[in-house]
Amino acid sequence: MASITSSLNEREVDKPTGLLDDCSKKNNNSSSIHSTSSDFDDNSTKLGFASTNDENSTRSLDSEPDFSDIDQKQLIKKLDFRLMPLFTILYLISFLDRGNIGAAKIEGLAEDLNLQGSEYNLCLTVFFIFYATLEIPSNILLNHVKPSALIVLAVILWGIVMTCTGLVQKYEDLLACRALLGIFEAPLFPGISFYLSVYYTKNEFLGALTILLGILAYFVFPDFPQDAKFLNDREREFVTYRVKHATNRDGESLKEVAKLGNDQRSAPLGEDHSKKPKYIWAAFSDWQCWAFLIMYYAVGVPLYGVSLFAPTIINNLGYTATKAQLLTAPIYIAAAVASIVQALILGKLGVRSPFILFNFLCTLTGYIILICMDPSTNPKSTYAALFITAFGIYPSFPIVVAWLSNNVAGTYKRAVAMGLEIGIGNLCGIFSSNIYRTQDSPRFFLGHGIEIMFVALGLMALVLTFFIYSGSNAKKKKRLQAGYYDDYSDDDILQMGDKSPYFLYRL
């Protein structure tokens, strides 16, 4: 749910960062965009754009299509009210369905099904094996089929599985239901994350109930912008255009920093939207995808650890099962508030790394308290530490996902990169499912220690990514000044994607 909240604020086009801070203030006359100010969201801005018939063509800012008749703020509100409630509810139901087994455990699930040894942990593990394995293929498939067909079918099927889960009689039944739940939930989160990236620019960026919701969703779930019936023709054209060419605000500002001048070639507009197989390899071979995968694990392992085992940890503090269930609710409420507040601030500042750093430090602090305190003598400190960990975990989850989306250019490469991050990333649930063992209760040294290790690795990956991004942005500026790309055609630069000299990494 927090991931959907964050995307509400991932949409301001002209939020200059890093190298662009100074140049965006000085550059008032160099191009049609900058002469009208850098506030792309201002209703009074006149967007002097021209049209094109080739979605992969390149254009200069002097010939952009005219969308001055579009009230962008009203359009964004229309997108928000049409997309966000549905996606928020779907993801909330998804997270509840996969995580409610933790609540069922302290209510007697293991005893009712006569689960022995590690059988409960295996039921948790099998979900993540199928869930993670199928996320990359489902995101690639999403580029070839209607989202309303793929995702809605998945929702209906996992709703059926959840209904059947309530009827299981033995270990094998539960194991099969968890495996099927992983299969059918796989398309949702990476699909929605990628899907939002085609509507918003890179800076804006339970059983029977689930079955019913899935059936209803078919009638309200929109497909890609060009097919969205709740938009008129001009709005569809503009939504597609603004997402496709948002990266060029950076490119034009960087061109001015390099002092290329108006009489030289303008930065190529947009990104390559073709579905060439080379972009699959480009995603897998890109260092940033693997760096973000480490950060994803630094968030995901603690996240699933809390969602699956917080009821058990609280139950071990001496509370009854019912009271332990109730005491988990304030933790999630605090995490939700933190997620919303950070999303609002992040949308104003346009930076990512400082928020992730703060959240990682909160998570690390919480787990250090958990591993140091004896819950039998310090139950209040243990309970407070769960708040601190959740306060760091849940807000950072959407930011990590959105940050990679911001910094990968090319629709197909982005789809694969996000599937890679979320797909392989969700294998982290296998760790979370097996590190909190019954024999380690109530201190759970092994579980808390492994959580600390993953967060520490995430901190190292974060710092490394920040410095590489900063260095890459500076290198692009110097190469432009030296004329390194003078012999490159517009098409060559377009196909470079985020390696283009006109693409600046968000910090």
> Which residues are CB-neighbours of 355 under 8 A, at least 6 positions away?
342, 345, 346, 395, 396, 399
Q: What is the largest CA-CA distance in the chain?
A: 77
Amino acid at 488: Y
pLDDT tens by residue, 157-201:
999 999 999 899 999 999 999 999 999 998 887 777 777 777 777
DSSP labels for 337-361?
Answer: HHHHHHHHHHHHH---HHHHHHHHH
Helix axes 119-133, 72-106, angle to 10 degrees: 160
Q: Give yes or no for a contact between 393 and 303, defined as CB atoms under 8 angstroms apart.
A: yes
Q: What is the pLDDT of residue 348?
A: 82
Structural domain includes residue 58: no
Helix axes 171-185, 72-106, angle to 10 degrees: 170
Q: What is the pLDDT of residue 81?
A: 82
Shortest CA distance to 221 belongs to which of 150, 129, 292? 150
Q: What is the pLDDT of residue 191?
A: 77
Structural domain includes residue 484: no
Q: What is the pLDDT of residue 271?
A: 64
- Report the alpha-carbon distance of residue 296 to residue 291 in Å, rounded: 9
- Report the alpha-carbon distance of residue 164 to residue 168 in Å, rounded: 7
Q: Give yes or no for a contact between 87 and 192, defined as CB atoms under 8 angstroms apart.
A: yes
Hey, what are 423's tokens? 């797909």
**Residue where the block lists tokens 């959240």:** 359
Helix (H, G, I), strand (E, B) or coil at 394: helix
Structural domain includes residue 237: no
CA 292, 5, 189: angle at the middle one, nearest 5? 55
Low-confidence residues in the chain, pLDDT < 70 = 1-64, 202-224, 226-230, 243-273
pLDDT tens by residue, 228-274:
666 778 877 777 777 666 554 555 555 554 444 443 444 455 566 67
Structural domain includes residue 155: yes
Amino acid at 257: V
Helix (H, G, I), strand (E, B) or coil at 204: strand
- Report the alpha-carbon distance of residue 133 to residue 397 in Å, rounded: 20
- Report the alpha-carbon distance of residue 340 to residue 346 in Å, rounded: 10
Number of domains in the chain: 1
Helix (H) / strand (E) containing 505: none
pLDDT tens by residue, 12-23:
333 333 333 443
Amino acid at 205: F
Structural domain includes residue 196: yes
Structural domain includes residue 102: yes
Q: Give yes or no for a contact between 46 and 68, defined as CB atoms under 8 angstroms apart.
A: yes
Structural domain includes residue 24: no
What DSSP designation does 10 have?
E
Shortest CA distance to 16 belongs to which of 262, 267, 244, 349? 349
Q: Give yes or no for a contact between 93 and 192, defined as CB atoms under 8 angstroms apart.
A: no
Percent of the chain with pLDDT over 70: 75
Q: Give yes or no for a contact between 89 and 213, defined as CB atoms under 8 angstroms apart.
A: yes
CB atoms within 10 A of CB 460: 13
- Report the alpha-carbon distance of residue 278 to residue 324 in Å, rounded: 51
Hey, what are 473's tokens? 């942005």
Cis ω for the linkage preceding 330 (within 30 of 0): no
Cis ω for the linkage preceding 277 (within 30 of 0): no
Residue 160's domain comprises 84-226+278-469
Structural domain includes residue 40: no
Q: Give yes or no for a contact between 225 and 241, defined as CB atoms under 8 angstroms apart.
A: no
Q: Give yes or no for a contact between 489 and 31, defined as CB atoms under 8 angstroms apart.
A: no
The domain that contains 299 carries what CATH number?
Answer: 1.20.1250.20
What DSSP designation does 69 have?
T
Q: Which residues pair with 151 in a beta bridge?
A: none
